Amino acid sequence: MSTATQHQQAQGNTLGGLQVSQNGYTLNPLTASTPTGRPTDFKFTVTGPGGKPVVDYKVEHEKKLHFIVVSRDLTSFQHVHPEMTRDGTWSAKLTLPKAGPYRAFADFTPKGGENLTLGADLQAAGGDYQPEPLPHVSRTSTIGEYTVNLAGNLVPGHTSKLTLTVNKSGKPLSDLQPYLGDFGHLVALRADDLTYLHVHPEASEKAGPEITFHAEVPSGGDYRLFFDFRHDDTVRTADFTATAVLSPSATHDHGH
């Protein structure tokens, strides 16, 4: 998503992922129920202003459509890559780890149109839903042998520079593999309503250890950041909780 689109989403009345329909486009889940803990062939369509499924999309970051599924408590995150049939029906292998409510996001650009992120609610059946508390604010995420450190702060209404540094067994990595056309992929979600912000890194030829992103958040409060990176042919996800606070310098700048 471009910086201009992020700015438009942050400043406009319509924030990403909060609506199932926007500008005549609608996200339509076709799979009625999703079991817990086992793969499901989840199907959906995106219908256009004429009411028919969209079949022509602009390829962005190597995909026609990006499909993100998170649990409502923001402790579970999946970025899956659905396949589309000729009639515009999308299908994704989806495994929801625990019972309860989820939010699905379709991030796409219809051919000849503007980038959109539509959101729809999903429910994983089976068992009692016990929401987990939002993970504590942290600048370090550990995934097995990998550690990812976060530098930078989210500032409402301003473009924030975020730098993620990837280490394995304590050593900085310089051989990250491209994932979706970049050396990293970052999704930010506002904790209170799951507003969706999709950001990508600065252009760089260096395959790590540092990857820099620019994000613009629409308000103060807590956000969840999910960072996908690829190494040794495996995609891993680091997650962080960050709080956006208007800094004194930003307040001063805004005043001028």
The answer to whether residue 181 sits within a structural domain is yes
The pTM score is 0.88
pLDDT tens digits, residue range 26-48?
Answer: 999 999 788 898 899 999 999 99
User: Counting runs of H as helices and runs of E as strands, what totals does the chain give?
Assistant: 2, 18
Q: Look up tokens 């308000």; give the residue.
A: 219
Query: For residues 169 and 194, is the Cβ–Cβ distance under 8 A?
Result: no
109 and 166 in a common domain:
no
Domain residue limits at 61: 3-124
pLDDT per residue as tens digits for the range 211-256: 999 998 999 999 999 999 999 999 999 999 999 998 655 444 444 3
Do both 86 and 181 map to the same domain? no
Q: What is the largest CA-CA distance in the chain?
A: 55
Please tell me the distance from the alpha carbon of residue 201 to that of residue 165, in angstroms, as a whole number: 12
Q: Are 4 and 18 in contact (CB under 8 A)?
A: no
219 located within any domain: yes
Tell me: pLDDT of 8 over 80.
no
In this structure, is residue 166 part of a structural domain? yes
Residues 165, 228 share a domain: yes
CATH number of the domain enclosing 55? 2.60.40.10
pLDDT recorded at residue 7: 38
Q: Give dist(CA 38, CA 98) in Å, integer.
A: 10
- Asked if residue 131 is part of any domain, the answer here is no
Does 209 sit behind a cis peptide bond, omega within 30 degrees of 0 on the bond before it? yes
Residue 26 lies in a domain: yes
The number of residues in the chain equals: 256
